[in-house]
Each structure stands twice: as C-alpha cells, then as structure tokens.
Amino acid sequence: MRVVTWNLWWRFGPWEERQKAILAVLRELRPDVVGLQEVWAAGGSGGENLAEWLAGELGLHWAWAPSPVSERWQRRIGDPDVEVGNAVLSRWPVLDQAVLRLPAPEDLDDGRLAFHTRLAGPSYDIPFFTTHLTSTPTASAIRCQQVTALAEFVATHRSGTDFPPVITGDFNAWPDSDEVRLFGGYKTAPAAPDQLFLDAWEYADPTAPSATWDPANPYVRVAPPVRIDYIHVGPPGATGLGHVLGVRRAGDGPVDGVWPSDHAAVVADLVSTRA
C-alpha cells in the first residue's frame, strides 16, 4: 500500500500552474492513500475543490475537512471566497470520517485540524489520519498539546481492525523536537496511554535527502533544510500489517519548470496483507 503525505501550499504563489504540477507528481506516484494539507475549495459548497479535482483526475475517492476559520487565511491572499482544509484521497471507499479541531490559544488559532477517515481496504479497514499543526516556530509547547489531542483522537478511532493506524501530516516540527518525540511515544512517555507511532522515515536510506522544507525550493524563505512532514504508523505486530517497506521524498523538484508546492511530499510503501 503506497501512502503519501503532502502540504499543497493552499492558493499561494502560481497556484494554477502548481495545480497541474501536483497532479503530475501524484499521477506518477500512483498512490493508494494520500493525506493532504492546505487544500483549497472555492465558491462555497458547490464550488471547485482541489481534492475533488485531483480525485477525479486520478480515479480516487476523496474526503475533505474545511478549517472553521478560513478567514484568517483569506486575509493573506485577499480572497474571502476560498476555504482551506485537510483532505484524503483513497483508492478505496471512505466508510467513516471525523474531525478534531486542534487546541491553540486564540491569537494563534487558525483552525488547524486532525482529520480521520476509515477506508475500506482490500483486506481490512484502514484507520487513516491527516493533520496540520501550528506553524509558529516558537510554539513547540502548543504543538505538544496538539499531538496529545491527536494521539487521543487516534485512540478513539483506531479500533475494530487489525490494520495499524496511519497518521500523516505537516507537523511543522523537527524530528528531534519535543512534540515529535512525544507523539512517537518510544523516545519519551507516549502522548496518550499505550499509543505508539513509528516514524516511517526511520526505514529510509540514511543517505537519502530527507528535507521536506528546503531552501533549494524557491518558494521557501531562508531556512535550514529540515524534515517537518511525516508518515507515522502504529506497530505492525506479529501479522506484519503496516510494516514499512520503504520511504522517500517526492515532489522535490520542478515539473515543467514549476515547483508543485513549498513542501516536498513523503511517500511510504506499507505491507497491506498478512505475512
């Protein structure tokens, strides 16, 4: 099972050209499940939705969770008619979904979410999540609160299947940060009781480029290259379901001269049948 996580940079920059580049990357990857952040929808409930368009072009199912305070984003581009949110694209039907608004103080609360979908996989239901944590560089303590809420949210929705939960997203945090270590639960006490999540990148080639936020990308302002986007998977157990076979970056260069997003994607291949 091929899983992708990708922050699509909403409607910033040359978004119409980027939309085509995003599609080209995903078409080449042929993913089974995709967790997306900063996905736009225009013109209200009946208007165009980037996730819906991508799903239609790729022949996938889709689900979407809009931010409850898109106006904080709209002020940045001067368009009051465009929403922002998280989305899931899936080769398999979406059986159920739920949304959690992540905790944040009022001055930093721009409606960040955790989005759960239960997918009708080929052998087992798949508890799949995508999230987008606050981006303020000095807000590690807030992100710790958010990953605690996220871990509790996963615990609520992961049962009823042998497939381990898959959690994707833009954590806006370095791999050795308090919040990433807290969420993993294996380098420190877990954020929620008995919730352990493995960072798929631990299985990557150690010499492979890992930065998903990289100044080599012209959309990124001056910053050190760092990995801030993650695919986490619950322990596979004796059955091997969800075991990480490989992981890498994608969308980390221009497509016909256009960079698809300010983030690179992360791609992981997981075992989807019992050993």
The mean pLDDT value of the chain amounts to 94
Using the predicted structure, report yes or no on whether residue 232 has a pLDDT greater than 90.
Answer: yes
pLDDT computed for residue 46 by the predictor: 67
Look-up: residue for tokens 């801030």?
228
pLDDT computed for residue 80 by the predictor: 80
Torsion of CA 150, 123, 52, 219, to 10 degrees: 60
H or E segment to which residue 257 belongs: none
Give all domains of the chain, ordered by start, each with its CATH number: 2-270 (3.60.10.10)
Give the pLDDT band (50/70/90) at residue 225. Answer: very high
Instruction: Please give the order of strands across the beta sheet that includes 198-199.
Output: 94-101, 113-120, 125-132, 166-170, 229-233, 198-199
Helices (H), 158-225: 178-184
Largest Cα span, the chain = 53
* C-beta neighbour count of 106 within 10 angstroms: 5
Over residues 241-269, the mean pLDDT reads: 97
pLDDT tens-digit map of 156-196: 999 999 999 999 999 999 999 999 999 999 999 999 999 99
- Give percent of the chain above pLDDT 90: 87
Give the pLDDT band (50/70/90) at residue 275. Answer: low
Over residues 221-232, the mean pLDDT reads: 92
d(CA 73, CA 10): 9
pLDDT tens-digit map of 101-138: 999 999 889 899 999 999 999 889 999 999 999 999 99
pLDDT computed for residue 45 by the predictor: 60
d(CA 166, CA 92): 15
SS3 content of the chain, % helix, strand, coil (to 5): 25, 30, 45
Count CA atoms within 13 Å of residue 17 on its CB side.
8
d(CA 59, CA 137): 37
d(CA 201, CA 241): 17
pLDDT computed for residue 14 by the predictor: 95
